[in-house]
Chains A and B, each alone.
Chain A
Amino acid sequence: MAYPFINPVEVLQRRAAETPDRLSHLLLGATEAEDHSLTYSQLDAEVKSMAAFLQSAAEPGERALLVYPTSLEFIVAMYACLYAGIVPIPTNPPGMNRSAQRLEAIAKDARARLVLTTPEYQAAFLAEAAQFPDFAALKWVTRETVRAGGGHSLKIPEIKPESLAFMQYTSGSTNIPKGVLISYRNFSHNMHALHETRVRGGEYADDSAVLTWTPLFHDMGLLIGTFLTPMDGTPSILMPTIQFMQNPLNWLKAIQKFKVTASGGPNFAYDLCVNKIPLEKCEGLDLSSWKIAYNSAEPVRAETQARFAEKFAPFGFRPEALAPCYGMAETTLVISFYTGEKRTIAQRFRRADFEEGRLVPSDSNDPKESVEAVSSGTPLADYQIAIVHPKSRKRCAPDEVGEVWISGDSVGEGYWNRPDDTKHTFGAHIAGTHEGPFLRTGDLGFMYDGHLYITGRLKDLLIVRGRNYYPQDLEMTVERTHPALRAGGGAAFSVVEDNVEQLIVVHETQRRELEGVDWNEVIKQIRANIAREHGIRAHAVILIRRATIAKTSSGKIQRSEMKRRYLENELEIVAEWRAPS
């Protein structure tokens, strides 16, 4: 694919010059009166002011941590870094019970010079300054600092395709954060591919409007919420994540109000809309403007999509809008995407073969006999996808499941300051050939009928008695057993006991449902369901207190951490069963 060089600095400046009074970004407040917005010229002016200050505070190429809630300030800060030639590192602001530990780890890893944040966050951090002296010692910049800083001149640097645009830290453990280097070339390739997708999906038009409720510091929020819309001069509407989480109907109502054409989220967001929005409250809802409803989770569930389409079709929602997609920080944003299909593209395979990594299509609907895999889309543009045996690094046969390897200009330049990890992850070659370099995604999957299917994380794969189990399948079996088991609150992993790999399942309980529940009965049922659906006995079933399961900053279950807690007896146990030794 030939793609243009997209320089977001030039894009914004052109907007400010050609369409200065058009709405650029709109932040939704708790009430309409509290909405805030910036036109292109307003945004450009604020960006220039901050960028000039940043240039006086740091050298070109130095790194700045950005710590903001969903806000216009974040948008200003991101652009200001690019205008100033500073490398922005957007990060997750710590919540009430999360400390600055991860931020400090990132700042140290990146050797950051600046922290760009709000005065409120700054005050909160400085209260903890004694615990994080290195972090406190960085140069802190807020809107007040900029205002008080006086006038400076700005010299926008020359930006080339190979110039570093920003860094995205992957959500891993706190101790070893890894910064993915994204160049302007990577940015251009991925943004152009997204643009092409919008055109193909019929969503790219004068009346386009994109709404983002997911956090802006990574992923869809960053690329789509911040940078995509100035490219075509249509508005980006930003909804603080909490507005969605408190009431998913807010999302749908905002789509109606602003005639949003593209918006999406992880699979659980669609589940929430199905399960938590009463039908009576949907009266008068009109979702007919929605042309692309992207579903970016691991995994996309066909059932979720079908139920969402069914529930909201009477309110103008078009099933063809559903757009499963897949990507990661290491590939800027998107790897694969599809839209425009009336049904979710999925395929059933014989279970026994699937668990041995072989694809044999099946007609059976019996979960004992077959598993369903759901497509994550067709690979974008000119990506090369290779399905490879993770150990031998040989290409898999077309009917084999293997690790997904990617090559293409959206693949990032590597990890900051980690040459070994970079070589291992970004510099892979097919065994015995010069084919590559490829990015090893760490995800297992396969290509089928032109679509990419992701089956799970390589490192989470459970191999018990020679068969492969995907933890999310086991977790779903447990979850479905009883309403007192919290949705999305399970972890399945394996431990070695007496030299044998054994399956352990841990699951959160719901506080509300605790009255009169016979946990022993529930556990018996869990064991029976796992045996029946997966042909394996759980060696232990541990039910834990609500909200005590470990999750990453983007809401994914940390199975390895749950395994550690199991082994160290750190689980908050409500009820349990363990196989006698």
Chain B
Amino acid sequence: MDRNEVLQKIRAFTLKELLKNLDYPLKDDEPLFSSGLIDSFAMAQVGVFIETEFDLYIPDPELTVENMDTVALIADKVLAGLAER
């Protein structure tokens, strides 16, 4: 799976499930959690999404705002995880 594909999937999930707004002009480097755009409550949903979509488990200590604050950062984390396999 290449970076674009990963970004695309994460973007789609973020718009549909987290922002609940398919028309939001989301940028890949836009802070999601630290900006307050999305409640940190939703971090668990991100974790489960990554598990079911990419079959990749991100342990709790790594599922942080620091690592997951933007679509790009999430994609990096996913790609890193997939590469380790």
The reply to whether the CB of A556 lies closer than 8 angstroms to some CB of chain B is no
A537 touches B44 (CB 8 A): yes
- For the complex, give the distance between the alpha carbons of A531 and B49 in Å: 9
Across the interface, B60 reaches (CB within 8 A) one of A500, A528, A531, A580, namely: A500
Residues of B near A368 (CB, < 8 A) are: 39, 41
B52 touches A527 (CB 8 A): yes
Residues of B near A480 (CB, < 8 A) are: none
Task: Name A495-536 residues within 8 Å CB distance of B.
Answer: 500, 524, 527-528, 530-532, 534-536
B41 touches A535 (CB 8 A): yes
Task: Name B24-52 residues within 8 Å CB distance of A.
Answer: 39-45, 47-49, 51-52
- For the complex, give the distance between the alpha carbons of A500 and B59 in Å: 12
B44 touches A531 (CB 8 A): yes
A527 touches B51 (CB 8 A): yes
Least Cβ–Cβ distance between A578 and chain B, in angstroms: 10
- For the complex, give the distance between the alpha carbons of A191 and B43 in Å: 52
Least Cβ–Cβ distance between A413 and chain B, in angstroms: 47
Given contacts A500-B60, A579-B57, A580-B57, whether A352 and B48 have CB atoms under 8 Å apart is no
A352 touches B52 (CB 8 A): no
- For the complex, give the distance between the alpha carbons of A500 and B60 in Å: 10
- With A368-B41, A535-B40, A536-B44 given, can you name 8 additional A-B contacts, CB distance below 8 Å? A527-B51, A527-B52, A534-B44, A535-B42, A535-B44, A537-B48, A579-B59, A580-B57
B52 touches A528 (CB 8 A): yes
Residues of A near B57 (CB, < 8 A) are: 579-580
Residues of A near B48 (CB, < 8 A) are: 527-528, 530-531, 537
Residues of B near A500 (CB, < 8 A) are: 60
- For the complex, give the distance between the alpha carbons of A51 and B75 in Å: 79
Interface centre among A524, A528, A580 (most CB of B within 10 A): A528
A-B contacts, 27 listed (Cβ < 8 Å):
A352-B41, A368-B39, A368-B41, A500-B60, A527-B48, A527-B51, A527-B52, A528-B45, A528-B48, A528-B49, A528-B52, A530-B44, A530-B48, A531-B45, A531-B47, A532-B17, A532-B45, A534-B44, A535-B39, A535-B40, A535-B42, A535-B45, A536-B44, A537-B44, A537-B47, A579-B59, A580-B57
Least Cβ–Cβ distance between A356 and chain B, in angstroms: 13
Least Cβ–Cβ distance between B18 and chain A, in angstroms: 10
Shortest Cβ distance from A527 into B: residue:
B48
Residues of A near B42 (CB, < 8 A) are: 535
Shortest Cβ distance from B43 into A: residue:
A535
Shortest Cβ distance from A534 into B: residue:
B44
- For the complex, give the distance between the alpha carbons of A527 and B44 in Å: 10
Task: Name A197-251 residues within 8 Å CB distance of B.
Answer: none
Shortest Cβ distance from B41 into A: residue:
A535
Residues of B near A524 (CB, < 8 A) are: 52
Residues of A near B41 (CB, < 8 A) are: 352, 368, 535
Question: Per DSSP, are chain B's interface residues mostly helix, strand or loop, or mixed?
Answer: helix
A-B contact count (CB 8 A): 36
Count A interface residues, CB 8 Å.
Answer: 15
- For the complex, give the distance between the alpha carbons of A530 and B45 in Å: 8
Residues of A near B44 (CB, < 8 A) are: 530-531, 534-537
Chain B 44-69 per-residue mask, 1 if CB under 8 angstroms from chain A, else 0: 11011101100001011000000000
Residues of A near B40 (CB, < 8 A) are: 535
Interface centre among A527, A531, A580 (most CB of B within 10 A): A531
Residues of B near A580 (CB, < 8 A) are: 57
- For the complex, give the distance between the alpha carbons of A471 and B16 in Å: 28
Interface centre among A500, A532, A534, A579 (most CB of B within 10 A): A532
Shortest Cβ distance from A525 into B: residue:
B52
Residues of B near A530 (CB, < 8 A) are: 44, 48
- For the complex, give the distance between the alpha carbons of A579 and B57 in Å: 7
Residues of A near B52 (CB, < 8 A) are: 524, 527-528
Residues of B near A352 (CB, < 8 A) are: 41
Shortest Cβ distance from B57 into A: residue:
A580
Least Cβ–Cβ distance between A173 and chain B, in angstroms: 32
- For the complex, give the distance between the alpha carbons of A532 and B44 in Å: 7
Least Cβ–Cβ distance between A357 and chain B, in angstroms: 17
- For the complex, give the distance between the alpha carbons of A37 and B57 in Å: 65
- For the complex, give the distance between the alpha carbons of A580 and B58 in Å: 9
Least Cβ–Cβ distance between A541 and chain B, in angstroms: 11
- For the complex, give the distance between the alpha carbons of A536 and B17 in Å: 16
- For the complex, give the distance between the alpha carbons of A535 and B47 in Å: 10
Least Cβ–Cβ distance between A60 and chain B, in angstroms: 62
- For the complex, give the distance between the alpha carbons of A534 and B17 in Å: 14
Shortest Cβ distance from A355 into B: residue:
B41
Least Cβ–Cβ distance between A211 and chain B, in angstroms: 46
Shortest Cβ distance from B40 into A: residue:
A535
- For the complex, give the distance between the alpha carbons of A352 and B39 in Å: 10
Least Cβ–Cβ distance between B45 and chain A, in angstroms: 4
Shortest Cβ distance from A467 into B: residue:
B41
Least Cβ–Cβ distance between B19 and chain A, in angstroms: 13
- For the complex, give the distance between the alpha carbons of A531 and B43 in Å: 8
Shortest Cβ distance from B47 into A: residue:
A537
Residues of A near B45 (CB, < 8 A) are: 528, 531-532, 535
Chain A 354-397 per-residue mask, 1 if CB under 8 angstroms from chain B, else 0: 00000000000000100000000000000000000000000000
- For the complex, give the distance between the alpha carbons of A425 and B52 in Å: 47
- For the complex, give the distance between the alpha carbons of A536 and B43 in Å: 8
Task: Name A472-502 residues within 8 Å CB distance of B.
Answer: 500
Shortest Cβ distance from B17 into A: residue:
A532
- For the complex, give the distance between the alpha carbons of A528 and B47 in Å: 9
Least Cβ–Cβ distance between B56 and chain A, in angstroms: 10
Shortest Cβ distance from B52 into A: residue:
A524
- For the complex, give the distance between the alpha carbons of A500 and B41 in Å: 19
- For the complex, give the distance between the alpha carbons of A18 and B71 in Å: 83
- For the complex, give the distance between the alpha carbons of A524 and B55 in Å: 11
Least Cβ–Cβ distance between B51 and chain A, in angstroms: 7
Interface centre among B47, B51, B59 (most CB of A within 10 A): B51
- For the complex, give the distance between the alpha carbons of A17 and B44 in Å: 69
